[in-house]
Amino acid sequence: MITVRHRDERGKVNMGWLDSRHTFSFGHYYDPAHMGFRALRVINDDRVIPGAGFPTHGHADMEIVSYVLDGALEHKDTLGTSSVIRPGDVQRMSAGSGIRHSEYNASKSESVHFLQIWILPDEEGMVPGYEQKAFPAEEKQGRLRLVGSKDGRDGSVTIHQDLDLYATLLGDGDAVTHDLRPGRHAWVQVARGQARLNGVTLKEGDGAAVSDETTLTLDSDSGAEVLLFDLA
């Protein structure tokens, strides 16, 4: 079963410096029918104007994944981490027992477009941690590249939850497949472009919850960047 979360149905926030779309309930946007999917709690599609961003704020007991599509996102936290996240990078911050951080557009002239993803951890009160890795486009072109997993295998970032996170770049005519083991579920998020999931058209910003399917096929006629979450 595939249930589409259409992009135009998402929560909307426009604060001038921030234009955001919320796939699931977040902040002032509350929809009891869309509180998350399995361990996946937040997918925010954020655009931030040059030089602006989120001032220092706190989190606890959440795995926070940042995936930049365009521009550059500057991150600083109370662990002493200071980094810039660019397209192709995946950053995981484990809030654990408590962490404070800030996120700003690293450019004074160009906007930044990124997905911020929150995942419920498999245990509370962990020691806060951070990891960032780069995944070149050629590793994702026409294939599913594992970019996040519980065991950090194949060079992926470690996410403290029973899930696998894949990214793919689909060109015209490209197709990829993924098998779901019994009892597993999936969430598919189209970050940009347009793709088909088992024949169902998904546009940029659309997501889809998947249950009771054994094989997923993603293809595109016009190009797309897609994230696939394989979830317990």
**CB-count burial class (<10 Å; 0-12, 13-18, 19+) for 158:** middle
Task: Pull the structure tokens for residue 192.
Answer: 């940009």
Distance, CA of 144 to CA of 187 (rounded, Å)? 14
DSSP 181: P
Instruction: Return the domain boundaries, the chain.
Output: 10-135, 138-231
Q: How far is CA 23 from CA 3, 107, 153, 157, in A?
A: 13, 26, 28, 23
Distance, CA of 19 to CA of 48 (rounded, Å)? 7
**Sequence-separated (6 or more) residues with CB below 8 Å from residue 175:** 217, 218, 219
CB of 186 within 8 A of CB of 228? Answer: yes
Fold: same for 10-135 and 138-231:
yes
Strands ordered across the beta sheet of 112-119: 11-14, 18-22, 40-48, 112-119, 63-70, 89-94, 129-134
Mean per-residue pLDDT, 176-183: 97
Task: Pull the structure tokens for residue 231.
Answer: 């979830």
CATH architecture under which domain 138-231 falls: Sandwich (2.60)
pLDDT in tens, 67-98: 999 999 998 888 888 899 999 999 999 999 99
Distance, CA of 193 to CA of 205 (rounded, Å)? 9
pLDDT in tens, 202-227: 999 999 999 999 999 999 999 999 99
Please determine, looking at this structure, whether the domain spanning 10-135 carries the CATH number 2.30.30.230. Answer: no
pLDDT in tens, 102-125: 898 999 999 999 999 999 999 999
Percent residues over pLDDT 90 in the chain: 91
For β-strands 129-134 and 163-170, DSSP reports them as unpaired
Residue 195 has pLDDT above 90, yes or no: yes
Distance, CA of 218 to CA of 206 (rounded, Å)? 14
